[in-house]
């Protein structure tokens, strides 16, 4: 997940636009996995694993899933570009990272989908909740040996830890304030920043919490199997975002990536046809 330094040949705004239009809002006529097709297929799969999902309003699911998809893309973008320079206030890096959240808000407003931006706030807050919870989980079992063990509150954090984490969040507020278009973008990007860099262990726990939030917001009480299905769906959204960033970093743009894939397919198809022709002539 972003272990190699990415090579971006197009702006963050263009990277985001291509993702949203090809992976979320693209039409079937453009031969893209549009939201209408992708999410419809996902809902059928989830219902096949948990029949109670049929009670969920599809339009509500579509709106929530789109908002979650974009929030996960923003988190993947930040983690993908993570460098230690973030603490050194390198403006080039900060402009690169902030370009995603700034352009995302403007993009959604311009296409009449500000309601999706508003929904994204709830999933952004889950990132903060997950981060706070993991501070308690990571200390669980070792509190007796901690230097401030006697000061631990019900939430599992002692005063020194709370002060340090609050100071860290405030430092992100100051860092992003100069590069984000408004306070909403500043706060949401700061919350995401608390969660990077993340590994498989951290992001898996986040998927679990995001899945529960998604289920709650669509008014669904899944069975154990249904919860597993929705977690796979959430994990798939994040994986798709990372694969997209891999493709753009390697090819230069999503359009160029499609050309490369098309060329490779043509070569393989030609080789297969040539092989079949030789077999028939034997």
CA distance linking residue 245 with residue 95, whole number of Å? 18
Q: In whole angstroms, how far apart are CA 55 and each of 34, 45, 217, 218? A: 23, 14, 13, 10
What pLDDT was estimated at residue 259? 61
E strand or H helix that includes residue 212 = helix 200-217
CA distance linking residue 263 with residue 244, whole number of Å? 18
CA distance linking residue 84 with residue 2, whole number of Å? 13
105, 184 in Cβ contact below 8 A?
Answer: yes
Residue that has been written with the tokens 């789109």 in this structure = 66
What pLDDT was estimated at residue 136? 67
Q: What is the pTM of this model?
A: 0.82
CA distance linking residue 135 with residue 158, whole number of Å? 10
When pLDDT is averaged across residues 103-111 and rounded to a whole number, the result is 97
DSSP label at residue 8? -
Sign of CA pseudo-dihedral 30, 36, 41, 46: positive
Residue that has been written with the tokens 């706070």 in this structure = 132
CA distance linking residue 115 with residue 191, whole number of Å? 20
CA distance linking residue 47 with residue 44, whole number of Å? 5
Residue 76 has pLDDT above 80, yes or no: yes
Q: Which residue has the higher pLDDT, 168 or 83?
A: 168
When pLDDT is averaged across residues 180-201 and rounded to a whole number, the result is 94
| 18-58 per-position pLDDT tens digit | 999 989 987 544 444 455 678 889 999 999 999 999 999 99
The neighbour count for residue 172, using CB atoms within 10 Å, is 18
């Amino acid at each position: 997940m972003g272990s190699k330094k990415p090579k971006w040949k197009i702006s963050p705004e263009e990277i985001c636009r291509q993702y949203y239009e090809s992976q979320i809002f693209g039409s079937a006529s453009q031969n893209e996995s549009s939201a209408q097709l992708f999410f419809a297929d996902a809902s059928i799969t989830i219902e096949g694993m948990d029949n109670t999902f049929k009670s969920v309003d599809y339009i509500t699911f579509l709106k929530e899933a789109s908002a979650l998809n974009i929030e996960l893309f923003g988190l993947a973008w930040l983690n993908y570009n993570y460098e230690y320079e973030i603490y050194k206030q390198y403006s080039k890096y900060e402009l690169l990272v902030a370009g995603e959240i700034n352009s995302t808000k403007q993009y959604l407003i311009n296409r009449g989908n500000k309601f999706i931006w508003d929904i994204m706030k709830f999933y952004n807050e889950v990132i903060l909740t997950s981060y706070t919870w993991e501070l308690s989980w990571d200390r669980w079992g070792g509190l007796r040996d901690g230097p401030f063990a006697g000061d631990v509150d019900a939430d599992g954090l002692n005063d020194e830890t709370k002060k340090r984490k609050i100071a860290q969040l405030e430092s992100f507020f100051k860092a992003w304030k100069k590069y984000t278009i408004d306070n909403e973008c500043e706060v949401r990007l700061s919350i995401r920043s608390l969660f990077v860099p993340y590994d498989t262990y951290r992001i898996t726990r986040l998927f679990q919490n995001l899945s529960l939030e998604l289920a709650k917001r669509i008014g669904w009480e899944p069975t154990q199997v249904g919860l597993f299905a929705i977690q796979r769906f959430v994990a798939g959204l994040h994986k798709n975002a990372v694969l997209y960033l891999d493709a753009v970093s390697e090819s230069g743009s999503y359009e160029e990536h499609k050309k490369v894939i098309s060329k490779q397919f043509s070569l393989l198809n030609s080789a297969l046809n040539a092989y079949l022709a030789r077999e028939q002539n034997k």
